[in-house]
Amino acid sequence: MDKEPYNTKGMALYSTDGHFKPIQFQRRALGPKDVAIKLEYCGICHSDIHHGLGHWKKEIFPLIPGHELAGVVVAVGANVNKFKIGSRVGIGCLVNSCRHCNQCLEGFEQYCEKGPILTYGSTDRDGSITQGGYSTLNVVDEDFVINIPDPIDLAILDLIY
Residue 109 sits at φ, ψ, to 5 deg, of -60, -25
Average pLDDT over residues 65-83: 96
CATH number at residue 113: 3.90.180.10
HSE, side-chain direction, 13 A CA sphere, residue 139: 26
pLDDT at 1: 52
Residue 113: give the domain boundaries.
6-160
Residue 1 included in any domain: no
pLDDT at 159: 55
Total domains present in the chain: 1
pLDDT in tens, 9-53: 999 999 999 899 999 999 999 999 999 999 999 988 888 888 888
Residue 93 included in any domain: yes
Q: pTM of the predicted model, to two decimals? A: 0.90
- The C-alpha angle 155, 123, 47, rounded to 5 degrees, equals 45
Residue 32 included in any domain: yes
Residue 17 included in any domain: yes
- Out of 24-38, 94-108, 121-135, 145-159, which region has the weakest mean confidence (pLDDT)? 145-159
pLDDT at 19: 92
Residue 134 included in any domain: yes
- Residue 113, H or E segment: none
User: Strand, helix or coil at 116?
Assistant: coil
Residue 111 included in any domain: yes
Confidence of residue 121 (pLDDT cuts 50, 70, 90): very high
- Out of 37-51, 103-117, 147-161, which region has the weakest mean confidence (pLDDT)? 147-161
Distance CA 43, CA 158 (A): 6
Residue 115 included in any domain: yes
Mean pLDDT taken over the chain:
92
Distance CA 68, CA 157 (A): 10
Residue 45 included in any domain: yes
